[in-house]
Each structure stands twice: as C-alpha cells, then as structure tokens.
Amino acid sequence: MIKKRLAKGFSLIELMIVVAIVGILAGVAYPSYVQYTERVQRVKAQEALEGMAMAMERVRLEQNDYRLFNGAATPTDISTSTRPNANFYPDQSPMSGAARYNLTVEEATRGFFVLRATPINGQLMDGDGYFELHSTGRRGWDQDGGGVGANEWCWSDRKGAC
C-alpha cells in the first residue's frame, strides 16, 4: 500500500501571487499616505502661523506696537525676514518632532504685520511653497514660487474651497 504525503506549506506560485497583491496595495496606498502627511504638515504650519499671530496681537495689546514682538526697546519697522526669538514664539513648525517650516515675521509696522511659514530645504515639504498670514486676516499660499498671486489667497488645496 502506498501512502500519500500531504504537502505542507505554500507553493512558489502562491507566494508570488501574495507578493504581487501586496505590491499593488502598497503602490496604491503609499501615494495616498504621502499626500496625507503633506496635508498634515501644511495644517500644522497654518496653526503655527495663527498662534504666532495671536502672540503678535498680545504684543500690540500690551505695547500698542507690533514692532516690539522680539522684546526690542525701541520700535523699528521690519521689512526683511526676521525669526522670532524663543521668548516670543517658536521659530519652526511643527513645535515638536522634525521641523518642516521656518516661521518668520516678514514685515512689521506699528499697526500691520505679515507672517510667513517657509518650507525647510531638503525636508518633506521642500518645494511646497510658503504660507503667509497678514494682520488683516488675509491668508496666502505661494504654490508656484512666484509670490502670492491673485489665485493664491487661500490656504486650501481643494478646488472651490475658498
């Protein structure tokens, strides 16, 4: 009498089919994951700008002048990119973890300011364009590197959201 041996394990073809299915799923899921993480980093930068704007408003409320945000003794108009000191507000976003954006005060006068979040070179968000927030509440996102244009006064990347 001949006994049949039952095969245990998987055949090579079965393993190849599983690897192909996993590869297809990863090929579909990975771009979605990257888009999600980019969106999260954008939102964190926008939140940081709004927090920094609130800190600027506190300075204006206490000292009646936005130009004193870094603890300066005398007010001086700011027309170049200035990083805030740590006592005023963090200079990078997100506040914890790997920094993706530098936060700066681009312009400050007695009654007006412009804040900017610029992607850090070589990081995930490099090439994504910078965000601006004005003291008037105007929000811009320079997506093409040519400055905030007429169609870029919005923080959303969804069509028709603004």
For the chain, the structural domain boundaries read: 13-152
For 30, phi then psi, to 5°, come to -60, -50
The domain made up of 13-152 has a fold known as Glycoprotein, Type 4 Pilin (3.30.700)
The length of the chain in residues reads: 162
The pLDDT tens digits along the chain (162 residues) read: 666 666 677 789 999 999 999 999 999 999 999 889 888 999 999 999 999 999 999 988 988 888 888 777 777 777 777 888 777 888 889 888 888 999 999 988 888 999 999 998 877 777 788 999 999 999 998 887 788 877 788 887 666 566
3-class SS of residue 142: strand
The pTM assigned to this predicted structure is 0.77
